[in-house]
Structure 1
């Protein structure tokens, strides 16, 4: 038995054995096959957003698409920021309970989940990118507030 890993480090020997992102066993072949299919046949909104995210085009952030997490496949994942971006079409109006369970699972695993409507990706892509950047930015705390030049404590 070895020493515990420092915070943020993961046991590389687990991933060498082909285990999933959380070291809880292999990702089922069926889930991997489905994620490959989804990458091969994206929706129009997925393809457009991926064109803006791929290759670290958004402020150097690296995203992956159609990634298995647990028993789910997430649309876009930024591992470094622990951010999941889910694109929702009209079918999501009828599956709110499923989406809530999915979001709860992902948040329980330490991910932030940003849900974006397909229509917004297609009609307002820059606003979607701004929302993604806001989601990965640390929340401002009292020590991070900047004062205007006129308000320097005087």
Structure 2
């Protein structure tokens, strides 16, 4: 009975995940249609009047020798792969979902060891595969967050 409950929950979760992926793919395809990328123009918000800057106090000259100031290089534009990865928003929720599935199936696998009957061999393989998929998706989600940070830090547009 426990096997049927666990496998039913896993089947339901897989169907949910596939349905979610189908919805995301459909939204992506609809966004690629001509005329779908147009958004209504936003009106600019009222801004508070800017205050004049206070005059700065002159600093005293340093007594020790200083190095010449090296002009700071402007940040480089992120690579195309980084911008592409920053646009993808799905790996984190999907990775967390698979991680929860892995945790639940691992707990069920542990509980099945105390039954008098042996668990099917495919179940152990399924649990192992879920663990690897969760690890890969969470690594991809970490790379996605780094790409978002890089595009935001450089001031680059992550939509290009």
Q: Shorter-normalised TM-score: what interval?
A: under 0.3
Q: TM-score, normalised by structure 2?
A: 0.23
Task: Choose 1 or 2 for highest CA Rg.
Answer: 2
Higher relative contact order (CA 8 A, sep 6+): 2
Q: TM-score, normalised by structure 1?
A: 0.24
Compare the two structures and name the one with the higher strand fraction: 1
